[in-house]
Amino acid sequence: MVDWVDYKRIASELQVKEEDLKAFIKKGENLPPTQEIEDNLSTNPPVKPVFSENDVTIYHDNFITSSALEHETIDLIVTSPPYNLGIDYSNHDDTDEYDDYLWFTEQWLTKAYQVSRSDGRLCMNIPLDKNKGGQQSVGADITKIAKDVGWQYHSTIIWNEGNISRRTAWGSWMSASAPYVIAPVEIIVVMYKENWKKTSGSRENDITRDEFMAWTNGVWTFNGESKKRIGHPAPFPRELPKRCIKLFSFVGATVLDPFLGSGTTLIEAWDNKRVGIGFDLSEEYCQLAEKRLTDTWLKPKLI
CA distance 226 to 284: 18
Average pLDDT over residues 177-190: 88
Does 192 share its domain with 72? yes
Q: Is residue 269 part of a domain?
A: yes
CATH number, domain containing residue 276 = 3.40.50.150
Q: Is residue 303 part of a domain?
A: no
Does 216 share its domain with 121? yes
Per-residue pLDDT band at 299 (split at 50, 70, 90): confident
The pLDDT tens digits of the residues spanning 196-251 come to: 999 999 999 999 999 999 999 999 999 876 667 665 566 789 999 999 999 999 99
Per-residue pLDDT band at 179 (split at 50, 70, 90): confident
Does 170 share its domain with 269? yes
CA distance 50 to 290: 9
Q: Could you list the residue range(s) of the whole structural domain that residue 81 is in?
A: 46-298
Q: How many domains does the chain have?
A: 2
Phi, psi of 180 (to 5 degrees): -110, 135
Q: Is residue 71 part of a domain?
A: yes
Per-residue pLDDT band at 183 (split at 50, 70, 90): confident
The pLDDT tens digits of the residues spanning 248-294 come to: 999 999 999 999 999 999 999 999 999 999 999 999 999 999 999 99
Does 79 share its domain with 36? no
Does 179 share its domain with 33? no
Residue in 193, 292, 283, 287 with CA at minimum distance from that of residue 236: 292
What pTM was computed for the model?
0.81
* pLDDT at residue 38, rounded to an integer: 52
Task: Tell me how far apart the 2 most distant CA atoms of the chain are, in Å.
Answer: 62
Phi, psi of 150 (to 5 degrees): 140, -15
* pLDDT at residue 58, rounded to an integer: 98
Residue in 126, 89, 80, 84 with CA at minimum distance from that of residue 101: 84
Give 233 or 159, the one with higher predicted confidence: 159
The pLDDT tens digits of the residues spanning 9-40 come to: 565 555 556 666 655 555 444 444 455 545 55
Per-residue pLDDT band at 165 (split at 50, 70, 90): low
Q: Is residue 165 part of a domain?
A: yes
Does 207 share its domain with 293? yes
The pLDDT tens digits of the residues spanning 73-87 come to: 999 999 999 876 544
